[in-house]
């Protein structure tokens, strides 16, 4: 089971340099989020695991392109929470992480245009 991709789109029509890595760093600090060290990190793609360390986990793939950041959630194993609730939890954490990251960028750049979810 997987979610529809969520895209963070920027008014500047490009992903601001440093935004992607700061977003990853902000998510890593949140409870239940950890980087998947089993996979090789790439400069434009990262896998983050969501869930309790010793319990079932869901996988979040975050990738950067020139114009947006794409987030996709994949159900890896059954979990006591419904997949919809997991996606909502991750979405709320992303909103918090984005607010934290936005402080690194000048306020006059109007960094985030919108979240866009493809169905």
- What does the pLDDT look like over 12-57, one tens digit per residue? 788 888 899 999 999 989 988 888 877 666 778 888 888 876 566 7
In angstroms, how far is CA 48 from the centroid of its own chain?
Answer: 8
> In the beta sheet, which residues pair with residue 8?
69, 115
- Residue 8 is predicted with a pLDDT of 86
- Residue 29 is predicted with a pLDDT of 92
DSSP 30: S
- What does the pLDDT look like over 53-109, one tens digit per residue? 656 678 888 999 998 899 888 887 666 677 788 888 888 999 899 888 888 876 544
pTM, 2 dp? 0.81
């Amino acid at each position: 089971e997987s979610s529809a991709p969520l895209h963070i789109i920027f008014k500047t029509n490009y992903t601001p340099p440093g935004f992607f890595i700061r977003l990853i760093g902000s998510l890593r600090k949140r409870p239940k989020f950890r980087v998947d060290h089993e996979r090789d990190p790439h400069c434009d793609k990262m896998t983050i695991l969501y869930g309790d360390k010793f319990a079932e986990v869901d996988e979040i793939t975050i990738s950067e392109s020139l114009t947006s950041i794409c987030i996709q959630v994949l159900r890896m194993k059954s979990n006591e929470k419904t997949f919809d609730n997991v996606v909502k939890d991750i979405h709320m954490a992303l909103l918090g992480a984005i607010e934290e990251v936005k402080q690194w960028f000048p306020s006059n750049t109007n960094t985030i245009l919108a979240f866009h979810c493809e169905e």
